[in-house]
Amino acid sequence: MQVNPFSHIKMRRPRQGNTALNVILLLYLVVFYAPSIVSSISVSTPAELHASKGDTVTLSCTFTSTSRPTSKMTVDWSYRPQSGGPPLTFFHFSSRAFLPPDGQFAGRIRWEGTPAREEASISLINATLNDNGTYTCSVRNPPDVHGSPTSHTVLTVTPKAASIHFSDVAVLLAFVLLPSTIVTLILIARILCPKKKRNQSKAYRSPIEVTEGEEYGVHPPPKEKKASCCDLYMMDSEDEEGYYELKRGLLRMKAMLSLSAREPCRLGDVTVTSKPSGALHMGNTEEK
């Protein structure tokens, strides 16, 4: 008679309630602990950038990773023009920066990133109108291989508006030439519109000296000078008073000369007569 060696082991069927509980526990572990097993990375850049021709543009790129950046971390920048076409990778970083040796961006890219600070930015020097397009930043940091490892930025470069830059020499010339020009204009105005002397003599010596037995010509009074608009504008109150007093004196002298021309004026033994030429004749009077 054959004896079964496993006859003492009793087989038990698993309970249905315990199986459902184990499945729920397994799903819980997968949902909450799977992200820690498979890490993810997130990259962000500005959606749009605007610059003027000739400017230095900073293409900002930051990332967040659950793993600390190591020597295996890589950064790639690619460019796609506005006209379309496949993207062109022009920059690569892996422990050190690999700048473009030729092409459109040769000599115009500068690495601005710091992996320890989760920075992967670059600078585009002397931007041109041909640089318009879409720039893509891609970051890989194993074991972070999932998530959003890329981000895009649209760059728009416009012509620079005309502007005036004042150098030190221009400012110095402005401070020197401007006052000199003003002084020159003032001097020219004074030359074209001379101002009357303030200390103008108000007493006039008579041109007639009466001497017995001699005849003198009486010089006519100086002609009255008409005041121009410039003279009246430059004249002050003191000059106006002297001007009108001189005018009144000339009028009185004209009146005296007109009276002497009509009838002789006798001054003692001297008779003053007027000749047609305007001269005065003075001589002794004798009784006939």
**Percent over 70 (pLDDT), the chain:** 56
Q: CA separation (Å) from 84 to 44, 87, 98, 132, 152?
A: 23, 9, 25, 11, 15
- How many angstroms separate the CA atoms of 49 and 90, rounded? 19
Backbone φ and ψ for 8, nearest 5 degrees, come out as: -80, -10
CATH of span 40-158: 2.60.40.10
**E strand residue ranges, the chain:** 40-44, 48-52, 57-59, 62-65, 74-81, 88-93, 97-98, 109-111, 122-124, 133-140, 146-148, 150-158, 265-267, 270-274, 280-284
Looking at 158-236, list the stretches that DSSP marks H as alpha helix, in order from N- to C-terminal side.
168-192, 229-234
pLDDT tens for the 288 residues of the chain, in order: 455 554 554 555 545 556 666 666 666 555 454 444 455 899 999 999 999 999 999 999 999 998 889 889 999 999 999 998 899 999 999 999 999 999 999 999 999 999 999 999 999 999 999 999 999 999 999 888 777 899 999 999 999 876 666 677 777 777 788 888 898 889 888 888 765 554 444 444 545 544 444 444 445 555 555 555 555 555 555 556 666 777 777 778 777 777 666 555 554 454 545 455 444 454 554 444
| 3-class secondary structure, 51 | strand
97 is written with which tokens?
A: 């920066």
pLDDT in tens, 189-219: 888 876 555 444 444 454 554 444 444 444 5
| pTM greater than 0.75 (yes/no) | no
Query: Dmax over Cα atoms in the chain, in whole Å?
Result: 215
